[in-house]
């Protein structure tokens, strides 16, 4: 449902507490609601977490078990492992519309209000108590844990405006509730939980475990109905002293996320998430081997001793590299007046700056980072080339260079320039045939891939200056 419709509940829904009772509506807790809808989704075989790839046999079963058990959850993982997307997708397991008391500062079950104001309204109006309906998209909230977060942000504070209106400090109605109470009957997510100050963790624990709120001398019993989900970096979470033990014990499920384990999953995520410009009259096609090289580059970075593995190498690095390569191919096509946009090997150097902005390198001399990325990029090309190309097919191309042939390629060369190479180099046409180039632009990309692969296997020399390269025997 669109955002516009989310604020407009159907007209036939009950408008008062009496109508709600007559409709035989059954009030449930958030956990029971999620369990009920999750069971229905499992029986119907629906996709539970759309857009999340690679967790079918690892994270998803653990998450489903935690939800069926009604447990609060913490997801442990490095950046870029779809933790936030997983949490946000939990709203699909809530009822589309949920009744709450109209005008209440916090969402309250009309059958069981928890605030003093809510209880007072129901006591005075009874069945005439107005009821409104909340869309499930409004029942989710998240907060990034930072050192400057206060109890007032999460739990609440005395409202000076209400004091100025004539209420006493001892009156519970002077309280202005924070984010957690305002997500009553919903899902609250806090990202990077270990960054919360200890006193804030204690306040959060009181709300979730003891069910009371203590604000400037007020002690208010507030039995909140909230599903708590948090994220954390594994190193921060396991570092003794970063999280108070009682709060850590509050979580029923601790689930470890991970990066895509297969190249195919990484490429699937890149295709799904990358933002590719649409230009009228131009088509974009990214060869599979180019996608594999970009995915392989990320996987190599995740294992490199030169990269800080504690901070991780996000999937966003793969996506950003994909977008940069396509953007450079588009820039070339626009400049040359071509209608086909196909990335080539000569576009790959542009990912160096992109990747350097996404990873943290171990301590080293300035200027070494670019050399490290270049080496990783060359290793990625070699791995993909060795995986997809038959050495016996490309060997004649290397032998042809032994006769003194020299070939120039560049990221700004037109596709016609590459077409002329097919008949001038023995074996080249047969070498690119397994790559199935279906257009002149794809043919140009395939030729560059063969040359670069031969170079990475020490069968050709390569001299690069700027965006141009010369291949020789």
Per-residue pLDDT tens over the stretch 71-109 = 999 999 888 898 999 999 999 999 999 999 998 888 999
Tell me what pLDDT residue 424 has. Answer: 85
Three-state secondary structure readout of the chain: CCHHHHCCCCCCCCCEHHHHHHCCCCCCCHHHHHHHHHHHHHHHCCCCCCCCCCCCCCHHHHHHHHHHCCCCEEEECCCCCCHHHHHHHHHHHCCCEEEEECCCCCCCCCCCCCCHHHHHHHHHHHHHCEEEEEEHHHHEEEEECCCCCCHHHHCEEECHHHHHCCCCCCCHHHEEECHHHHCCCEEEEEECHHHCCHHHHHHHHHHHHHCEEEECCEEEECCCCEEEEEEECHHHHHCCCCCCHHHHHHCCEEEECCCCCCHHHHHHHHHHHCCCCCCCCCEECCCHHHHHHHHHHHHHHCCCCCECCCCCCCHHHHHHHHHHHHHHHHHHHHHHCCCEECCCHHHHHHHHHHHHCCCCECCCCCCHHHHHHHHHHHHHHHHHHHHHCCHHHHHHHHHHHCCCCCEEEECCCCHHHHHCCCCCCCCHHHHHHHHCCCCHHHHHHHHHHHHHHHHHCCCCEEEEECCEEEEEC
Where do you find CATH 3.40.50.300 in the chain? 3-256
Which single residue is written with the structure tokens 């809530």? 94
Tell me what pLDDT residue 1 has. Answer: 36
Burial 229-240 (b: 16+ CB within 10 A, else e): bbbbbeeebeee
Q: Is the pLDDT of residue 344 over 90?
A: yes
Token duo for residue 379: 């290793």
Q: Is the pLDDT of residue 6 over 80?
A: no
Phi first, then psi: give them for residue 182, nearest 5 degrees: -70, -10
Q: How far apart are CA 433 and CA 410, in angstroms?
A: 22
Closest by CA to 218, choosing from 203, 205, 228, is 203
Which range, of 232-246, 257-271, 290-304, 360-374, averages the lowest pLDDT?
Answer: 232-246
The mean pLDDT of 47-68, rounded to a whole number, is 92
Token duo for residue 250: 């509050």
Which range, of 51-65, 341-355, 399-413, averages the lowest pLDDT?
Answer: 399-413
Per-residue pLDDT tens over the stretch 385-435 = 999 998 888 888 888 888 888 888 988 888 888 888 887 888 888 889 888
CB 101 within 8 A of CB 108: yes
Tell me what pLDDT residue 171 has. Answer: 59
The mean pLDDT of 367-394, rounded to a whole number, is 90
End-to-end CA distance of the chain: 61
Q: How far apart are CA 384 and CA 297, in angstroms?
A: 10
Q: Is the pLDDT of residue 5 over 60?
A: no
CATH superfamily of domain region 3-256: P-loop containing nucleotide triphosphate hydrolases (3.40.50.300)
Tell me what pLDDT residue 210 has. Answer: 66
pTM of the entire structure?
Answer: 0.83
Tell me what pLDDT residue 165 has. Answer: 64
Q: How far apart are CA 357 and CA 317, in angstroms?
A: 9
Say which residues have a Cβ less than 8 Å from residue 68's Cβ, sequence separation at least 6: 35, 38, 39
């Amino acid at each position: 449902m669109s955002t516009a419709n989310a604020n407009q509940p159907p007209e036939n829904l009950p408008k008062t507490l009496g109508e709600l009772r007559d409709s035989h509506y059954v009030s449930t807790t958030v956990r029971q609601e999620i369990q009920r809808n999750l069971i229905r989704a499992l029986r119907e075989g629906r996709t539970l977490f759309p857009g999340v790839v690679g967790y079918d046999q690892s994270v998803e079963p653990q998450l489903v078990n935690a939800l069926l058990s009604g447990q609060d959850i913490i997801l442990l993982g490095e950046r870029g492992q779809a933790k936030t997307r997983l949490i946000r997708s939990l709203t699909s397991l809530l009822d589309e519309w949920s009744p709450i008391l109209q005008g209440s500062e916090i969402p309250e079950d009309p059958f069981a209000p928890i605030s003093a104001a809510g209880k007072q309204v129901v006591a005075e109006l009874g069945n005439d108590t107005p009821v409104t309906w909340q869309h499930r998209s409004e029942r989710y909230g998240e907060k990034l844990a930072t050192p400057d977060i206060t109890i007032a942000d999460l739990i609440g504070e005395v409202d000076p405006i209400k004091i100025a209106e004539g209420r006493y400090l001892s009156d519970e109605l002077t309280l202005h509730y924070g984010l957690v109470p305002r997500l009553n009957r919903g899902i609250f997510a806090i990202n990077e939980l270990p960054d919360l100050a200890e006193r804030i963790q204690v306040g959060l624990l009181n709300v979730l475990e003891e069910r009371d709120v203590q604000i400037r001398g007020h002690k208010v019993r507030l039995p909140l109905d909230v599903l708590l989900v948090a994220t954390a970096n594994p190193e921060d979470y396991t570092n003794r002293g970063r999280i108070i033990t009682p709060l850590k014990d509050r979580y029923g499920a601790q689930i470890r996320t991970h990066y895509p384990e297969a190249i195919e999953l990484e490429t699937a995520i890149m295709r799904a998430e990358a933002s590719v410009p649409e230009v009228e009259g131009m088509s974009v096609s990214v060869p599979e081997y180019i996608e594999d090289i970009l995915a392989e580059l990320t996987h190599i970075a995740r294992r490199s001793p030169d990269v800080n593995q504690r901070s991780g190498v996000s999937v966003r690095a793969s996506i950003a590299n994909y977008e940069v390569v396509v953007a450079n191919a588009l820039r070339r096509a626009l400049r040359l007046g071509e209608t086909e946009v196909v990335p080539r090997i000569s576009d790959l150097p542009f990912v160096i700056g992109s990747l350097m902005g996404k990873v943290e390198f171990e301590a080293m001399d300035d200027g070494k980072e670019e050399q490290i990325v270049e080496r990783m990029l060359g290793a990625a090309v070699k791995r993909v080339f060795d995986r997809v190309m038959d050495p016996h097919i490309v060997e004649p191309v290397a032998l042809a260079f032994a006769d003194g042939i020299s070939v120039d390629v560049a990221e700004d060369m037109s596709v016609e320039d590459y077409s002329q190479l097919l008949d001038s180099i023995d074996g080249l046409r047969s070498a690119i045939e397994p790559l199935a180039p279906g257009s002149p632009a794809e043919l140009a990309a395939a030729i560059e891939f063969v040359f670069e692969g031969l170079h990475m296997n020490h069968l050709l020399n390569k001299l690069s200056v700027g965006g141009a390269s010369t291949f020789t025997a």
